Amino acid sequence: MNLRDAHQIRDAVNSGEITAKEVAAMALRRIEEANRKLGAFITCDSEKVLERSGEIDRKVKNGRLPLAGVPVAVKDNICTRNLRTTCGSRILENYVPPYNATVIERLEEAGAVIIGKANCDEFAMGSSTENSAFHPTRNPYDLDRVSGGSSGGSAVAVAAEMAPLALGSETGGSVRQPASFCNVVGLKPSYGRVSRYGLVAFASSLDCISPIARNPRDVALLLTYIAGRDRRDSTSVPLPVPDYFAEMSKPVRGMRLGIPREFFGEGLDPEVKSIIETGIRNTESLGCELVEISLPHTKYAIADYYIIAPAEASSNLARYDGVKYGFRVPDPADLQDMYRRTRSMGFGAEVKRRIMIGTYALSSGYYEAYYGRAMRVRTLIKQDYDRAFEKVDALLSPVSPTPAFRLGEKMSDPLAMYLSDIYTVTANLAGIPSLSVPCGFTKGGLPVGLQMLANQFEEGTLLRLADAYARACPVDAPPLKI
Amino acid sequence: MAITREEVLKIADLAKLRFSEEELDTFVVQFQHILDYIEQLKQVDVENVPPTSHVSLTPDFEKHMFREDEVQPSLPVEESLADAPDHGSGHFRVPKVI
């Protein structure tokens, strides 16, 4: 037994072939062995994990559970009752939520074991997990390189076989990009498909809790148990959750796939481009038909995103004031001094930068010029996709213009870091589902993911395509560095 | 648009943030780069384009967005206060305001 396949673990625990406790102990050993070098987890409470897996072992005696004993790594911006949730920030370093996020409630009911809280960029702001206040997360294929981000810890937990499943969150590519950098599958669902209740808010009109696994079938399994309407999140959609496995059993032959020409222009690394082009040709041999497509407003996506996301963040992060939870500066002179010094000491540089941009964009006299205009450009970006999906079933593109970059490489230039999200942010702005599936490795041994995008609530179409692709074109991965 | 040090200080004040002199030097430059970049949105013709603030509204959204204001069980006071840096008598405690 290994920690690669959630279906296999679930079946083995349900049949009594292995206990949930044995699975948990195996995951904890691997975390103990690899986490010091990789920095994938911020918190791991082994006592609680063993206690919880013992409960599962008692429960499965009375009947099968859909995620029996499956370890799940959870990004540290998703609230877990009585388990520290830091958001990678000093300001929440000692925050212990008094409630569970809806996704955690649902996973626990399905028999999953929350194995630990995964590292991330502070408040999910970043593309490398270097903005974590605690430590960066390293790439298991090259320890001098980033894991990607902001859900770097979640992607590495799965890539380095510490857990077969993980939850991340996306606001602008934060699951697909680390999935691509780490050779795993990451799916950003449609906005509203999964409840955001208990996900610490960054940009509320964009945030999505997103599953990660080693193969599309395990992603489908995890999505099945977290998706669906939740009365505690009014933006969760009241649509039934489809049977993703029935969707995946349909053929892909005859599917029409669009290639958006704007995703292959200047800035795309030639080696990444050639790997993606091979991936695209592979879909042709699966019987799919390729169609060239244009998404003309793509070039405005980063600018649009870096108004909308910081604007919403500046409002959401106003709640960290040293009053209700989290860090408070010692000996404040008065209330204003307490607010200012608490926030200045508690937040890291990138979070402050985004609060400042957002405050500026929303400030008196600038609202219509920045946020108002950005929401209109957002409409145009969404309309590009609406038109594309009249012609095709899904789109194919790179996830990121480059493979994993070196630690520190982009830390002094925030704009360069922002630009690395160019191929992912449009899906968030348009609210459509999109995933990264392993596509190949560079000569230097770094993973490259293929991005697939589909129309709103067409997660089934995406998973069907990704599953067919992953089976037909398995990627030959070099050994992990740890 | 050029942003001045004074404007940055004003925004910091609105955001309840404080920067050291050194931080401010780097920050003004980075802020300017980002603003220059997002300025390109001004090239887009958005006349008659409606804004999108919510991408997943179903046609019958009002039925789901609104509900009766019924009392539901909520967290006990002690648990709500447990994470507060300072509290007493069932309240959050802050420095003297008046």
Q: Is the pLDDT of residue A136 over 90?
A: yes
Provide, rounded to the nearest whole percent, the portion of chain A with pLDDT above 70. Answer: 100
- Selecting from B31, B49, B97 the residue whose C-beta is nearest the C-beta of A335 gives B97
Closest CA to A324 of B88, B75, B83, B89: B83
Domain count, chain A: 1
- Selecting from B15, B40, B50 the residue whose C-beta is nearest the C-beta of A355 gives B15
Domain membership of residue B58 (yes or no) is: no
| Mean pLDDT of the region A125-152 | 98
What residue in A sits closest to B49 (Cα-Cα)? A376
Q: Give the pLDDT of residue B64.
A: 74
Per-residue burial over A442-465, b if 16 or more Cβ lie within 10 Å, else e, is beeebbbbbbbbbbbbbbbbbbbb
| pLDDT tens, residue by residue, B18-76 | 999 999 999 899 999 999 999 999 999 999 999 998 887 777 777 777 888 899 899 99
Q: Give the pLDDT of residue B68.
A: 86
Q: How far is B76 from chain A (nearest CA, A)?
A: 10
Domain membership of residue B96 (yes or no) is: no
Domain membership of residue B65 (yes or no) is: no
| Mean pLDDT of the region A133-151 | 98
| pLDDT tens, residue by residue, A334-347 | 999 999 999 999 99
Confidence label for A121 from pLDDT (cuts 50, 70 and 90):
very high
Domain membership of residue B24 (yes or no) is: yes
Domain count, chain B: 1
User: Which pair of structure tokens corresponds to residue B58?
Assistant: 């179903």
Residue B26, domain extent: 5-43
| pLDDT tens, residue by residue, A92-113 | 999 999 999 999 999 999 999 9
What residue in B sits closest to A419 (Cα-Cα)? B37
- Selecting from B12, B41, B96 the residue whose C-beta is nearest the C-beta of A374 gives B41
| Mean pLDDT of the region A401-410 | 97
Domain membership of residue B27 (yes or no) is: yes
Domain membership of residue B63 (yes or no) is: no
- Cα Rg for chain B, rounded, in angstroms? 23
Q: Give the pLDDT of residue A352.
A: 97
Q: Give the pLDDT of residue B56.
A: 79
Q: Give the pLDDT of residue B97.
A: 87
- Provide, as residue numbers in chain A, all residues whose Cβ is less than 8 Å from the Cβ of B4: none
User: Which pair of structure tokens corresponds to residue A78?
Assistant: 């998703």
Q: Is the pLDDT of residue A18 over 80?
A: yes
DSSP state of A368: I
Q: Give the pLDDT of residue B1.
A: 73
Q: Give the pLDDT of residue A1.
A: 87
Cα–Cα distance for residue pair A358/A361, rounded to 1 Å: 5
Q: Give the pLDDT of residue B61.
A: 74
Domain membership of residue B86 (yes or no) is: no
Closest CA to A297 of A392, A214, A373, A382: A382
Cα–Cα distance for residue pair A137/A120, rounded to 1 Å: 8
| pLDDT tens, residue by residue, A36-81 | 999 999 999 999 999 999 999 999 999 999 999 999 999 999 999 9
Number of H helices, E strands in chain A: 16, 13
| CATH code of the domain covering residue A160 | 3.90.1300.10
Domain membership of residue B14 (yes or no) is: yes
Closest CA to A470 of A130, A186, A117, A104: A186
| pLDDT tens, residue by residue, A220-248 | 999 999 999 999 999 999 999 999 999 99
| CATH code of the domain covering residue B15 | 1.10.20
What was the ipTM of the complex prediction? 0.95
- Provide, as residue numbers in chain B, all residues whose Cβ is less than 8 Å from the Cβ of A322: 85
- Tell me if A359 and B40 make a contact (CB, 8 A cut-off): no
Confidence label for A478 from pLDDT (cuts 50, 70 and 90):
very high
Active site residues of A: 75, 150, 174
- Provide, as residue numbers in chain B, all residues whose Cβ is less than 8 Å from the Cβ of A428: none
- Provide, as residue numbers in chain A, all residues whose Cβ is less than 8 Å from the Cβ of B22: none
> How many other C-beta atoms can be found within 10 angstroms of the C-beta atom of residue A278?
14
